[in-house]
Amino acid sequence: MKHFFKQGNKDLPTLLLLHGTGGDERDLLPLAEMIAPEASVLSVKGNVDENGMARFFARLREGVFDEEDLVYRTNELKQFIDESANDYEFDRGNVVALGYSNGANIAASMMYHIKESLKAGILFHAMVPRRGIELPDLSGVPVFIGAGKRDPLIPLNETKELVENLKKAHSSVTEFWTDGGHELRREEVDEAKRWFEKNFK
């Protein structure tokens, strides 16, 4: 997968950066700099092309995921992280996903499908990746969720369902809501920074 790696402090988790629809492997670098400037970064570009826009998995239409492709791409990303840990010599067991929108959705999908695939997650404007499956035990996998109360793409109840699913799987979930829409707001970034420092410094 096309990617960018930056070596940082090996005592901190490696941040896995996962962009939104139409982004690339450099999109979220400023975000990582704001949240955890000393951390190593593995920033990945999605392999799916939707009308010239990069995504991490296919969808049938707005808000409706191609579940078969979602599962395939989730495993593909997990394997890529495994290989990257060997190539760049970072601790595979200490990877924190930092995703926005489509990137947050595939990070959530990793938590839903693959036990111990992530140490934690910062999910900005995420949806329920898949329904009707049993999640692995997420004890010790804290998750920060940033969301907008007026998000036109993600109904409030969708985010609430994601939070409940993660909590039922024993994840410690921190929610932060803004009055905004689908855009990423500075206050949720600042809150994510506080959450990261509380959990990992």
Does 63 have pLDDT greater than 80?
A: no
Amino acid identity at 138: L
Does 6 have pLDDT greater than 80?
A: yes
**CA count, 13 A, side-chain hemisphere, 163:** 16
Does 22 have pLDDT greater than 90?
A: yes
Query: Are 126 and 162 within 8 A, CB to CB?
Result: yes
| Six token digits for residue 187 | 């206050």
Distance CA 4, CA 94 (A): 18
Amino acid identity at 3: H
For the whole prediction, is pTM greater than 0.85?
yes
User: How high does pLDDT run on average in the chain?
Assistant: 96
- Nearby residues of 194 by Cβ (< 8 Å), 6 or more positions away: none
The catalytic residue positions are 101, 151, 182
3-state secondary structure of 119: coil
